[in-house]
Amino acid sequence: MFLESFRHLIEIEALKKQNQQNADTISSENKRISDLEERRKKSQSQNEILKIEEKNLKLTDSQNQIEDLQGRLTKLTSQLAMATTLPQETAFKNQIQTIQSEIEKLEESYFENLEKSEEIQNTIKENNDFFNGSLITLEEIKTEVAKVIATEEVIIANRIKRIDALMDLCNPSMKSVYLDLEKKFKPKSCVAYLIDKKCSACHMATDATLRSTLEEGRGLECCPNCSRLLIPETAKIY
Ligand SMILES: [Zn+2]
């Protein structure tokens, strides 16, 4: 009495598997949007960090420091020119030397930082270009994705209708067992096949009574190990 219902279950399971493929397509389509959105967001948060990094290079500060020292150097040079004694001359020369080497050091790090700053600004620009340019791409992808999803959803909805119709053709007690197990196993399949005397899902061997009940369509049996509803192989060729 159950063999025909088993056959419906086989078809239901196949339809569900197909629907799963369409659902996968929908999620991978959605992922195209979220991936791009994620990349756009990342470009902006990276820019925030880069702006701070650039600020921390304190280029203006070192520029001012260098200018100050250069001012002092000019002053000392004119003082040196007016020095009247040898000790005075030596003292000015020493100060000039100290300041010159300070300027040298500062300039070295200033130019290093200037290079870094240019690199940072380039990256910021690239990120902004990507952010602005990808807005159009994002809108295009969204339109494309919406179309694909709408098509997929129609296919899924039609299969669900077919599944519901098949479900109604099933023996009522099988239907209720199936619906209960379906909830329990979601998102996995709640049915398994009895193949070579074993459950196709967990490979547990079954006893002869269970097999004959099932194969003759006299009753419903669940796998004693994984508790999936077992479908006999005889239903496949029925
Ligand atoms: Zn099993």
Tens of each residue's pLDDT in the chain, 238 residues = 899 999 999 999 999 999 999 999 999 999 999 999 999 999 999 999 999 999 999 999 999 999 999 999 999 999 999 999 999 999 999 999 999 999 999 999 999 999 999 999 999 999 999 999 999 999 999 999 999 999 999 999 999 999 999 999 999 999 999 999 999 999 899 999 999 899 999 999 999 999 999 988 899 999 999 999 999 988 876 4
CA of 189 to the centre of ligand 1 (A): 11
How far apart, in Å, do the first and last CA atoms of the chain sit?
12
Please indicate, yes or no, whether residues 160 and 189 belong to a single structural domain of this protein. no
CA 177 – ligand 1 centroid, Å: 16
Strand partners, 198: 195, 205
Same structural domain, 201 and 86? no
User: What total of structural domains would you count in the chain?
Assistant: 2
Residue 3 forms part of a structural domain: no
**Together in a domain, 92 and 153:** yes
Question: What's the gap in Å between 226 CA and the centre of ligand 1?
Answer: 4
Q: Are residues 182 and 163 located together in one domain of the fold?
A: no
Domain boundary among 170, 185, 211: 170
For residue 55, how far is its CA from the centre of ligand 1 (angstroms)? 64
**Domain end: 170, 192, 218, which one?**
170
Kindly give the interhelix angle for 86-169 and 59-81, rounded to the nearest 10 degrees.
Answer: 170
- CA–centroid distance, residue 160 to ligand 1 (Å): 26
What does the alpha-carbon distance between residue 115 and residue 109 come to, in Å, rounded to a whole number? 10
Residues with CB under 5 A from ligand 1 (ion): 199, 201-202, 204, 223, 225-226
CA–CA gap between residue 24 and residue 187 (Å, rounded): 13
Residue 233: the pLDDT is: 85
**pLDDT, position 234:** 80
pTM of structure: 0.76
State whether 47 and 143 are in the same domain.
yes
Range of the domain at 124: 17-170
Distance (Å) from CA 230 to ligand 1 centroid: 8
